[in-house]
Amino acid sequence: MESEFIVSEKLEELARSSNRFSSPVKPQIDYEQEYIEVFRAFGLSEFEIEDQLDKWELAKIKAERFYKRNPKYQIIYNILDNIYNEVKDVDTRDQELITYNIAVVLFVVLLAGMCNCNDDAEIAEFWFFNNMELQYLIPGMPSPKHMISDETVRTIRKLVPEDVMHSIFIKYFNEIKTCIAEMILNKDYDSQHYRKTLGGDGQELRATFREGSLSRKQKGGHGVSIYDCDNQTVVGFKTVHKKNQEVQAFIDILDKITIEEDAIFYADALNLRDILIGYLDSRKIDWLFPVKSNNGNKWLRDAIKTAFNDNSENSELFTHDSLEKISGRLEETSFMMLNAEMVPDEIRKHYGNAATIIKVLKKTSKYCARNTTPDKQPRAVKTERYYISSLEPTHENFRQLIHSIGVRWYFETHHNTLDCFFLQDNQALCNKDNICATVAKNKILYNVTSYARQRLSQEGFRRTRFRTETSEKRKPLSFKMTRQALASDIYLAFKVLIDYFMENNCIKSDA
């Protein structure tokens, strides 16, 4: 009888730790003793343990009240089911024996990333310090005695290959939820409808290194993404080894995503190659590229420069001048556009459906105080840039090109955000699967955090006072302030993440 009792006890324990999704509120399961053992193992005193158990009771009350007031968030069942259905084919573990359900872990990884956790160790700490709330909020959470480690987080993230993660990204995370562009601009927004500008660019992960290589100069990953410059959202990504592999990465991404018919593709001068231009022309996607002397394009740049010098008084030359005061600088910018037929045929024929050439002349002066004498004014800096595009030389397209050239740099702010706030460059990774999983996680978190930033900005969730109401409406929360706000309230982060999923037509609430 004694042996049978032990067997039944083991079966009961196994059933209790089952990973099948159950009710987010679990009053029938008493984890109090398990928490006591965990806290003792971590060296907490008896007084500190009692304090933590009071938090456990409070977490239960808050979670029950949260779901009672917000029954629509029971959609967490559907979300976890959808995530699991997307990744179950790559999870070869026995689902009846595992402790950490892959869908639950991935959801907690997203929630922790929104709350200012940037690496696997911080995610594991988030799991520990917020475990009481997570037990009631997320169905399928393992029992408290199974506190996750950073190695386990890393292993589970690596289970999902990049192509599967990209398909999940396209299905749930690359749609435009809200538009933040108008809030970011500090000047009157041009209400003219512009075509969407898709910026393609790559970003080296500086702390990574090539697995099996003796040189740390050989980086282990280069994250390539296509960025919606108008709505400031990532729409597709891929990880490659080197900068010169971006062209094929762009083609692979464009093959997998859905883009608007009138979208304009932009990439830097290094990617001005016949293989990419030929692909864009075959897809009937208009394009815009800067032209420099590198990568075999010196003859084209010289020909464009000569064309503008020889046709400076041409009546068919489109021109536009602007003067702006930006961050203590005065910028005088002149835009000029000519028909690409001004370029000799033997050069132009190598650039597909090239229809226009553009010259941008910028004069930048430091903005000084009024009492500064003229002879002490700093010398102005002049720059010339040249572009080539498939857009026809019309007045409407000229305005569109000016707009596209102006917004193209938003993908650089996207890179800066990943480096400064998600600390992507600080993660020393060498495993290829881990690098791909990290890039995918950061792209998803960027879009979700952008949504949270817009939501909290619209709802007045800021502590900064502005002189005028107009200034307040134009100034959104920073990424730093957004992640700090979410980290201070796990229920707020949970609500924002669920709302993001609910705005996707693939997941709807039954409430």
Residues 169-191: pLDDT tens digits?
Answer: 998 887 765 555 454 444 444 54
20, part of any domain: yes
- In contact, 332 and 363? CB cutoff 8 Å: yes
Q: For residue 175, what are the β-bridge partners?
A: none
176, part of any domain: no
pLDDT tens digits, 45-81: 888 888 888 888 888 899 999 999 999 998 999 999 9
Number of domains in the chain: 3
92, part of any domain: yes
Q: Are strands 233-240 and 264-267 parallel, antiparallel or unpaired?
A: unpaired
Q: Is the pLDDT score of 235 beyond 90? A: yes
Report d(CA 316, CA 339) in Å as an integer.
8
User: Could you tell me what percent of the chain has a pLDDT over 90?
Assistant: 46
pLDDT tens digits, 379-427: 778 899 999 999 999 999 999 999 999 998 888 888 888 888 888 888 8
Note whether 309 and 409 are same-domain residues.
Answer: yes
Report d(CA 59, CA 64) in Å as an integer.
9
Residue 431: both structure tokens together? 């495993």
- In contact, 290 and 304? CB cutoff 8 Å: no
User: Quick one: pLDDT at residue 11?
Assistant: 44
511, part of any domain: no
Note whether 408 and 470 are same-domain residues.
Answer: no
Q: Is the pLDDT score of 146 beyond 70? A: yes
**Which residue from 46, 53, 47, 14 is spatially nearest to 32, judged by alpha carbons?**
53
Highest mean pLDDT of the ranges 11-20, 33-42, 383-392: 383-392
At residue 358, the 3 state secondary structure works out as: strand
Note whether 119 and 239 are same-domain residues.
Answer: no
Indicate the range of 118-122, 312-316, 475-479 predicted with least confidence. Answer: 312-316
- The residue from 426, 461, 491 where one domain ends is 426
User: Quick one: pLDDT at residue 207?
Assistant: 82
113, part of any domain: yes
Note whether 16 and 124 are same-domain residues.
Answer: yes
User: Quick one: pLDDT at residue 2?
Assistant: 42
- As a whole number, mean pLDDT of residues 202-229 equals 84
Note whether 402 and 464 are same-domain residues.
Answer: no
Residues 37, 42, 43, 49, Cα dihedral to 10°: -50
- As a whole number, mean pLDDT of residues 137-150 equals 91
Note whether 207 and 340 are same-domain residues.
Answer: yes
Quote the domain boundaries for residue 153.
Answer: 2-161
237, part of any domain: yes
- The residue from 161, 182, 209 where one domain ends is 161
Q: How confident is the model at residue 29 (pLDDT cuts 50, 70, 90)?
A: low
- As a whole number, mean pLDDT of residues 331-349 equals 91
171, part of any domain: no
Q: Is the pLDDT score of 319 beyond 90? A: no
CATH number of the domain enclosing 402: 3.90.350.10
Note whether 155 and 228 are same-domain residues.
Answer: no
User: Quick one: pLDDT at residue 283?
Assistant: 94
Q: Is the pLDDT score of 469 beyond 70? A: no
User: Quick one: pLDDT at residue 123?
Assistant: 96
344 to 323, 349, 393: CA distances (angstroms): 33, 9, 17
Note whether 220 and 289 are same-domain residues.
Answer: yes
173, part of any domain: no
- The residue from 138, 161, 184 where one domain ends is 161
pLDDT tens digits, 254-306: 999 988 889 999 999 999 999 999 999 999 999 999 999 888 899 999 999 99
Q: Which helix or strand (DSSP H or E) is residue 54 part of?
A: helix 46-69
Q: What pTM was estimated for this model as a whole?
A: 0.85
Exposure b/e, 437-471, CB count within 10 A at least 16 = b: bbbbbbbbbbbbbbbbbbbbbeeebbeeeeeeeee
Report d(CA 145, CA 38) in Å as an integer.
6
Note whether 279 and 367 are same-domain residues.
Answer: yes
Taking all residues of the chain, what is their mean pLDDT, rounded to a whole number? 83
Q: Are strands 264-267 and 197-204 parallel, antiparallel or unpaired?
A: parallel
Indicate the range of 109-118, 244-253, 317-326 predicted with least confidence. Answer: 317-326
Note whether 151 and 211 are same-domain residues.
Answer: no
User: Quick one: pLDDT at residue 188?
Assistant: 41
What are phi and psi for residue 236, nearest 5 degrees?
-175, 155
Q: Is the pLDDT score of 442 beyond 90? A: yes
Note whether 203 and 104 are same-domain residues.
Answer: no
Note whether 263 and 373 are same-domain residues.
Answer: yes
Angle 66-70-76 (CA atoms, 0-180°, nearest 5)?
A: 90
